[in-house]
Structure 1
């Protein structure tokens, strides 16, 4: 599935790049740098479920909700493509009663394709997809002290309209969620199927700005003279540069835990971490289209329910080597290998009894990502997205595997090259 999605993305970007070359005699490389901030809300319709009351399974109606969000994104490829990251804020019940559930769709990262380029004063349709996680929690109404949260990582789709007016734009869209059936525990031994809504209606208000407007005309003319499709090393002047980077991240396990499946089937089986920062220190070999980096991450995973709580604190150092594939007018994807040294602190609490273990191991992984580069290798600050996959990430509890098969999303990392800044000055 991942290979198919990557192929679709690259094919769409290449086609739109060729369209822009045909339609624009003086193409502007920097048009992709129009960033935006968006605030809006998703309307989710009501749905039904089940609850446990005095040992008996009873039906329950969940209210329709409005879920506010904020998004950080940008338009690329002359208004044909949009990349973004969305963060859910809260949930507002629309029936006025006390909340009986919490459900948030957290988008890790996504892309939208505009067949007709975004233009001021024009209404434009788009289609898109994103990787996201569902958080569902049933809030007890009968004094039950313990509940649980179910999360999963899935591919979602959206279709919408965008109207742009100067720096302001309005969005109206329908989001489609193909994976809506979840096994949710009503007790330690009783499971039920919860079918959450398959769609939401989205409204958003955007404010866009030009991230490159403060550059000199000399820089703008130079960058706009670059070929639309070329190597990132095109026009590289120096052998290489050091960089530092930091950005928000989140981690997902892509497989079920054999240990939890046997010992705690009522707990969350695929874990998702809370947000954390990814720190990186590295060296970019400019002329070789290659960079190495040492990264540090410390995600925390928690799951609890019915008197049981698990906490996994992970400290990870990763040494990685990545090769840039090409530069599509400022969009530069790369792929590489990494080796992480992980230290894991596992804590388990069951009905007041607590125990802890520590594990350390080396974990090989794959890296895929992309840079947003206005000025190729002479730009001091760029935006980077990292996706790291560790297919063999696991440890054992009482001889049973606690499998992560972990995927790390470093959503948007700000990367700073001090040497390049001094050269520009």
Structure 2
């Protein structure tokens, strides 16, 4: 699935060159390449069948439909032909309350990409098709006991289709998401499991507000940035050898491999874990003329797994050193790839009705970094947005001679990166004294 996602990201520029016959690349200005947006909306899930013990037998009942509001942060890219976004679920509103049963069904979008065959324009309906790289959590609650486990389907590719209608800075979205993997082997107890199928489709509605954030206040700077070739090196016109930077942004981590230990000892818990949101903090130096950067990144993901009187907690504190190379600059979209090595301090705790225990691990893990920057002003930009993924294929623990495999993927959603030296230089240009 990782390969499919990366292919989708890098396929979009090629698709846009083949479509959009009404505009040539020469007529498309660099600073119109991207436009930021926020979207407030919701997903409407239909009702579905749940299962529970009644006496000594399994009976079925109906879970009501639900409305799940979300907040998206994203942007229109490639001159209105594509969207990239991340999604933050806000809550869940069940359409009907039940005294004896409840459920939680949460759709997390780590990132999504959509392709618009016709560029987004005001007062026109524009269809789109895309995929989101998502996670889906499901918990069935049979009252009065609410200690059932939350199961997760991580690293799903969820197709979606819909249309946008724009008016001034706003747009209305109506779409449909399709969940191809909707069957859960849900634990009715620690030892008995039943299949529950959640909805395959949901209806999405949203209100989008977009705004321009690429243009500089200086018209001469805008003219210079628009004069750059569509495809060029990031180092084009670079005058400084390099610049220090600091960055911070929200991240999540996913384990891509199943835990042999959980499958054996705790089959009613997730065997693949995902973390709560944490912050990726980076301090680094960009070698402008060499088209690469190095950085130290600090992360502290926390994983929790609970159900039927058992609680697993993994607290990871990690410091990674990485070196990444910028591949090209496509109108301000600048992908890169690199290598990193991380030192991890991991605290594992396990609490059950019978016993508690804590274990500590210290490990050195090699990894691969891929990502992209949004850089309309090349090496003159002092505040940019960065997205990166780090994959640690060898990340694992051994508990009771059984593997607790992570094959961990860290996804830094949107990192804000600040270059102090570039900022001071820009202030000096317009007459500020520092």
TM-score (ref. length: structure 1): 0.96
Residues 7-156 of structure 1 correspond to what in structure 2 (within 5 A)? Answer: 7-17=7-17, 22-23=23-24, 25-98=26-99, 100-141=102-143, 143-153=144-154, 154-156=156-158
Instruction: Tell me what 2:431 maps to.
Output: none
Contact 2:34 2:78 in 1 (8 A): no
Contact 2:34 2:79 in 1 (8 A): no
* Residue of 413, 421, 424 corresponding to 1:422: 424
Instruction: Tell me what 1:191 maps to.
Output: 193
Structure 1 residue 25, shift from structure 2 partner: 4.4
Moved more, 112-121 or 176-185: 176-185
Residues 225-244 of structure 1 correspond to what in structure 2 (within 5 A)? Answer: 225-244=227-246
Q: SS where residue 132 of structure 1 aligns?
A: strand
Change (3 A) 1:17 1:331: farther
Structure 1 residue 18, shift from structure 2 partner: 6.6
Structure 1 residue 19, shift from structure 2 partner: 5.6
Q: SS where residue 288 of structure 1 aligns?
A: coil
Superposition CA RMSD, Å: 1.5
Moved more, 98-107 or 328-337: 98-107
Change (3 A) 1:423 1:14: farther
Contact 2:234 2:328 in 1 (8 A): yes
Equivalents in 1 of 2:230, 2:408: separation in Å? 35
* Residue of 245, 248, 252 corresponding to 2:247: 245
Q: SS where residue 420 of structure 1 aligns?
A: helix
Structure 1 residue 11, shift from structure 2 partner: 2.6
TM-score (ref. length: structure 2): 0.94
Equivalents in 1 of 2:17, 2:331: separation in Å? 8
Deviation per CA, 1:65-110: give whole Å up to 9, x if none: 1110000011111101111000111111112435611101000001
Deviation per CA, 1:323-376: give whole Å up to 9, x if none: 111111111111111111111000000106211010000011111111111201
Q: Which runs of 5+ in 2 are unaligned?
A: 428-434
Instruction: Tell me what 1:254 maps to.
Output: 256
Structure 1 residue 12, shift from structure 2 partner: 2.1
Residues 300-315 of structure 1 correspond to what in structure 2 (within 5 A)? Answer: 300-315=302-317
Structure 1 residue 140, shift from structure 2 partner: 1.6
Structure 1 residue 213, shift from structure 2 partner: 4.3
Structure 1 residue 114, shift from structure 2 partner: 0.7
Residues 343-382 of structure 1 correspond to what in structure 2 (within 5 A)? Answer: 343-351=345-353, 353-382=355-384
* Residue of 267, 279, 282 corresponding to 2:281: 279
Structure 1 residue 44, shift from structure 2 partner: 0.6
Residues paired across the two proteins, number: 424
Structure 1 residue 423, shift from structure 2 partner: 1.6
Residues 200-211 of structure 1 correspond to what in structure 2 (within 5 A)? Answer: 200-211=202-213
